[in-house]
Amino acid sequence: NAGVTQTPKFRVLKTGQSMTLLCAQDMNHEYMYWYRQDPGMGLRLIHYSVGEGTTAKGEVPDGYNVSRLKKQNFLLGLESAAPSQTSVYFCASDDRAGELFFGEGSRLTVL
């Protein structure tokens, strides 16, 4: 039982490059989330989805886009990476509010 899987786990980008983070869950959860974790700031919600084909903005959505074409997958895209997007990104899913299952994280460095 894999739970929530994120790929890639590590990535280094140059300013202006684009990339996509993939999140896959095998628990048939309706809700999926993307958070970023920065020192001293806790976790901040970037975007979320309440079901296949839906997305919504969270607390810090600027510079990111998401898609939920399949229920089990939630993609996070950076169209033009900036150094301020250097962070650890976490995907999570749940089927009711609160008891989130998290992936292991994706560490992104933008030079």
Partner 1 sequence: AQSVAQPEDQVNVAEGNPLTVKCTYSVSGNPYLFWYVQYPNRGLQFLLKYITGDNLVKGSYGFEAEFNKSQTSFHLKKPSALVSDSALYFCAVVGGGNKLTFGTGTQLKVEL
Phi, psi of 84, deg, nearest 5: -70, -10
Q: Which is nearer to partner 1, 1 or 14 (CB)?
A: 1
Residue appearing with tokens 């990111």: 64
Binding footprint of partner 1 on the chain (CB under 8 A)? 4, 31, 33, 35, 40-45, 48, 56, 58, 90, 92, 97-105
Shortest distance in whole angstroms from residue 97 CB to partner 1: 4
CA distance linking residue 82 with residue 18, whole number of Å: 10
The secondary structure of the chain in percent helix, strand, coil, rounded to multiples of 5, reads 5, 50, 45
Shortest distance in whole angstroms from residue 26 CB to partner 1: 15
Q: Which is nearer to partner 1, 16 or 50 (CB)?
A: 50
Shortest distance in whole angstroms from residue 79 CB to partner 1: 24
